[in-house]
């Protein structure tokens, strides 16, 4: 009986380490997938003629949600950003915080930021 108890006590650190490695492995896969999704959205925005001239920052917010920030000239370009991002495989929800540049006279400008969740 003592040997069995000793065996269980000795195995606990090893089992803990194995569990920790499994959790860390899953976390690193999530980071890789998030980076792939961010890169795919960034590429799609860069490749589209409606948005290619602008710089955007794309952040993965988890579970297929992306947040896109940047500046464009028109409200139509904001809609194009949402449309392009939503078409990327793996994107489930798009939020944007996109300001309109100074050479835009749109009334959508409010504190330099337009925050429009995509439905």
CATH number for the segment(s) 34-117:
3.30.1340.30
What does pLDDT average to over the chain?
Answer: 78
pLDDT > 90? residue 47: yes
| 8-26 pLDDT tens trace | 676 777 777 777 666 655 5
Mean pLDDT confidence for 30-49: 87
Per-residue HEC secondary structure of the chain comes to: CHHHHHHHHHHHHHHHHHHHHHHHHHHHHHHHHHHHHHHHHHHHHHHCCCCCCCCEEEEEEECCEEEEEEEECCHHHHHHHHHHHHCCCCCCEEEEEEEECCCCCCCCCCCCCEEEECC
pLDDT of 112 > 50? The answer is: no
């Amino acid at each position: 009986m003592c040997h069995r108890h000793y065996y269980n006590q000795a195995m606990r650190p090893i089992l803990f380490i194995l569990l920790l490695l499994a959790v860390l492995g899953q976390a690193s896969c999530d980071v890789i997938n998030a980076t792939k999704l961010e890169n795919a959205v960034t590429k799609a925005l860069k490749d589209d003629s409606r948005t290619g001239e602008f710089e955007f920052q794309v952040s993965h917010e988890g579970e297929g949600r992306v947040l896109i920030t940047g500046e464009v000239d028109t409200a139509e370009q904001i809609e194009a950003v949402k449309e392009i991002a939503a078409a990327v495989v793996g994107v489930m929800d798009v939020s944007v915080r996109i300001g309109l540049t100074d050479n835009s006279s749109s009334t959508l400008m409010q504190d330099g930021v337009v925050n429009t969740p995509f439905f």
